[in-house]
Chain A
Amino acid sequence: MAITSSSAIDMVEYCGEDELHVLAVDDSLIDRKLMETLLKKSAIKVTTAENGQRALEYLGLGGCENHDPALTSSGVKVNLIITDYSMPGMTGYELLKKIKESSTVKEIPVVIVSSENIPTRINQCLEEGAQEFILKPLQQSDVKNLRCQMMKINKSCSGRLYLGR
């Protein structure tokens, strides 16, 4: 079977970008450590942030939004953002909104985690575009599930998950 030039490029991209990468946002050190370990156990690379502001900075949204994309290119790929809902300063919901409003990173799926099972809160987040709402504490089964979802999304819109900073 002949390999066309376009599928050869796809193969190279896929092999090179095999590792999934999650940005985990939570003000609790214990929960950050937990999420990190859970994700690493599923062979997922993790970057943690202790609040929404730091998360936005990592995503290149911290400062002036009118940066020239040609000037920045960290090449970092983020497959998923997991954020706690209740955080001082900026809530997970507010972070979600900022991400969805940004032209650069709105394609990155966002999962909200919360210790509280409040239907209005859940609906609010889902309506704002959250991929999923998961009750804390996060379980290994949740991570396996997320991993599957990330793999699927990765295949369909890989290019749009890169951060240009």
Chain B
Amino acid sequence: MESEQLFHRGYYRNSYNSITSASSDEELLDGAGVIMDFQTSEDDNLLDGDTVVGTHYTMTNGGSINSSTHLLDLLDEPIPGVGTYDDFHTIDWVREKCKDRERHRRINSKKKESAWEMTKSLYDAWSGWLVVTLTGLASGALAGLIDIAADWMTDLKEGICLSALWYNHEQCCWGSNETTFEERDKCPQWKTWAELIIGQAEGPGSYIMNYIMYIFWALSFAFLAVSLVKVFAPYACGSGIPEIKTILSGFIIRGYLGKWTLMIKTITLVLAVASGLSLGKEGPLVHVACCCGNIFSYLFPKYSTNEAKKREVLSAASAAGVSVAFGAPIGGVLFSLEEVSYYFPLKTLWRSFFAALVAAFVLRSINPFGNSRLVLFYVEYHTPWYLFELFPFILLGVFGGLWGAFFIRANIAWCRRRKSTKFGKYPVLEVIIVAAITAVIAFPNPYTRLNTSELIKELFTDCGPLESSSLCDYRNDMNASKIVDDIPDRPAGIGVYSAIWQLCLALIFKIIMTVFTFGIKVPSGLFIPSMAIGAIAGRIVGIAVEQLAYYHHDWFIFKEWCEVGADCITPGLYAMVGAAACLGGVTRMTVSLVVIVFELTGGLEYIVPLMAAVMTSKWVGDAFGREGIYEAHIRLNGYPFLDAKEEFTHTTLAADVMRPRRNDPPLAVLTQDNMTVDDIENMINETSYNGFPVIMSKESQRLVGFALRRDLTIAIESARKKQEGIVGSSRVCFAQHTPSLPAESPRPLKLRSILDMSPFTVTDHTPMEIVVDIFRKLGLRQCLVTHNGIVLGIITKKNILEHLEQLKQHVEPLAPPWHYNKKRYPPSYGPDGKPRPRFNNVQLNPIDEEREETEEEVRLLNSTTL
């Protein structure tokens, strides 16, 4: 018996099938009835962290009506589960905020009663800071683990440290005195696979052996990663930022930020990075940090019971994620503000700041790279830049914008193909093939064989006299009296020219592979490959400008600054600007990106070049399509995300958007006091709407409130279990006073406590511009449309998204997608040539699919209005 309860309770809590559609769903074993086993709900609640206070609230925005009405109400006790959400549903920000205010008031009023209550209120007040501290600690520690393990595994492809197996190449040769100036990374302790297997370190045999081992390890890492993802946590794949954006805007994806996702994402991220695929760990680190935030928020009732408050923690967690990914705490806070967060009050800003600080501190004390920095490719520049260099910087910005536009279109086309054709059925095979192609092509080219972070580091680093890489193979013909820091521009040697060729090949390779890599079913971030592409392009441009300045120092633009023997061009700086431009083109971030890059380099004087390049790349990218890669993926997947950045410029009215439409069946409404339990249950079973307006009576049609389907179901089930005398023919009463009933009739069921007494209403002539603004700013889930106080219809978030999409297609008829001209597959269109419904993803089971167009809509029972 007890175990049954545990099971039901737990199953109910994690239910990914909406309770409402349970009866016809094969996943559910016992039908809807048994799920609501609330006999033990009290102790369950205590243990689950949903303390008794947590679930009780009344749906009043003012919060003052309950005292008088609830005295007689048997349902005054909290009904467990009311006020929670189903999987793949949208939260109501207004309702959650009211809930939090209510809770806060209750705790505050109790504060004076005893010392214990005082402590509780103090704990409650501090819990926000505590949870972000814990999140910061955990994400810093996990980032350290990922960094160290990924470095080690990357080097495992190449060889192994015999004296201490846990060291990577760099650490293996840490104390060695045998390294020479020419071959800095060779030391006797580090054995390549060829040395171990066939016993020779040089020659074609060893090259082939190393090649084979490289491919072998890359394939096995990729295979392990994808199979772990597939078996344990499918949600761990991808970058996670589009989903986190959607979740932060108020969507529920159960399990997306759970324990298993966290563990598998952490473990497989290392494998994916080590397999040499063209992906980075930065985006997934944001997801990892958000998982930590979500998990820790379960320790604090303030956050675990309130979805809106939880999202504040997640905002702070994403800041911590970027903070450890790039070693840029302030950049992380700005990233959270600019890119991911939807609701970002000042309090969250400070908490994000603090979380970023804690995370950066933890990572710094772990010191994963041994360079006392948070990232591998930290560089420090102090060389100045000159005005004429803005021109190449802007050129790099143009390149970044073009790359961003190309990447977004190509990647979306490819992902759409994966989504809609049979090819998406073989995720494991796809990963293996991509990994194999990457490994086979990457090995011969030294720049692609490197770990991408190391490649970026090498490209960012300027050529001092101490550098030995072929990128720095300049002809040195000056006399030997110059000191280290001030190296003039020099003619390039053979090494530089061959390096440029290799870099060009690497650039093409990276561009192509990244398009196909982003979106495969392993954790894959986009930042590092984008930055690498930009850095390669930037370095090439930098070297070109440098040589131009050297050979033509009498040109008027160079005349002033680039005399013979002056150091005027720094190719590393160009690489940095290019990296920022490409990242900006892909993600369309501006402020946070500049701050991140500037924190990476610690050079304040490069802000202007970076700003110029990032802004140009945003403009160029926006010319080809306004959305960044994350928005594009959100749209591709059809998440209900109402972008606050877009403007609404049409002149439609609320009446044009509301449901029901002209020819639809009327709105389904409940009346205040003359429906029976059976009537309501029938309506719930027959319709699939998520909420029902409650009106005075069929005659007057005036609006009383709004009742959510889930709350109704739960309340009726629990009433049938707990209250005596509730049968199918009992009246349901939403009104304050029970109507007088015939003496023999069963006792009425009072449901006033689940009624939202203050639903948002607009009149039918409200311009959509204002409605959209209300939805964005307040985070509404639905809004009722009235005329003279009479309910006409309802507008939901999904209706608005559909409307926006419709207008977009209407006003600017979409040119056939880029791929449509080149390759022949029509991914976005259904078989009959009509566009597919846009919201095809947010449901889980077949019954939901037919519901999708009408979700959250309500029909009028009789159409005598107006």
Instruction: Specify whether A and B are partners.
Output: no
Chain B residues within 8 Å of A, Cβ to Cβ: none
On A, residues with C-beta under 8 Å from B are none
